[in-house]
């Protein structure tokens, strides 16, 4: 079985930054052996662990799990998006909403409007106190 992109990226980042498997394990709250399993491909880190690793190195999860070519391609696609200037969270909301059927989009908009009205009502109530 060949090396996965994630395995290679974990090993490359660790070595490039001069860390040991033991240091990464300590940061993640796991043993050196448990971390080593990620680098050799016996185990795949869960989302929480991936998030901690990405924060440790200052890279995105996309960068951890994608090859350089895949990551560059996704960045090019992102640059061509009409929503590219929005913060990532807002862009993701719009893109996810666009995947829903129109009726479900309408339901979601109605739900959001209700949430906003309730929030404003709570704020007014608190302001009057």
Summarised one tens digit per residue, pLDDT across range 46-91 is 999 999 999 998 888 888 888 777 656 656 666 667 776 777 788 8
- Which residue from 56, 55, 54 is spatially nearest to 66, judged by alpha carbons? 54
| Same-domain check for residues 9 and 56 | yes
CA-based diameter of the chain, in Å? Answer: 66
| Same-domain check for residues 88 and 46 | no
Predicted local distance difference test score (pLDDT) of residue 75: 61
> Looking at per-residue confidence, does 20 or 75 come out higher?
20
Per the confidence metrics, is the pTM higher than 0.75?
no
Q: How many domains does the chain have?
A: 2
| Same-domain check for residues 117 and 57 | no
Does any domain span residue 11? yes
| Same-domain check for residues 101 and 65 | no
Does any domain span residue 78? no
Give yes or no for a contact between 78 and 84, defined as CB atoms under 8 angstroms apart: yes
* Residue 62: domain span: 5-73
């Amino acid at each position: 079985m060949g090396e996965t992109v994630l395995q290679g990226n974990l090993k490359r980042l660790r070595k490039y930054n001069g860390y040991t498997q033991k240091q990464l394990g300590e940061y993640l709250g796991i043993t050196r052996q448990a971390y080593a399993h990620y680098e050799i491909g016996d185990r795949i880190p869960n989302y929480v662990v991936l998030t901690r690793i990405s924060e440790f190195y200052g890279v995105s999860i996309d960068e951890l799990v994608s090859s350089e070519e895949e990551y560059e391609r996704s960045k090019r696609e992102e640059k061509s998006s009409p929503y590219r200037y929005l913060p990532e969270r807002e862009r993701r909301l719009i893109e996810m909403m666009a995947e829903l059927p129109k009726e479900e989009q309408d339901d979601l908009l109605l739900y959001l409007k209700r949430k906003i009205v309730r929030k404003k009502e709570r704020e007014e109530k608190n302001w009057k106190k």
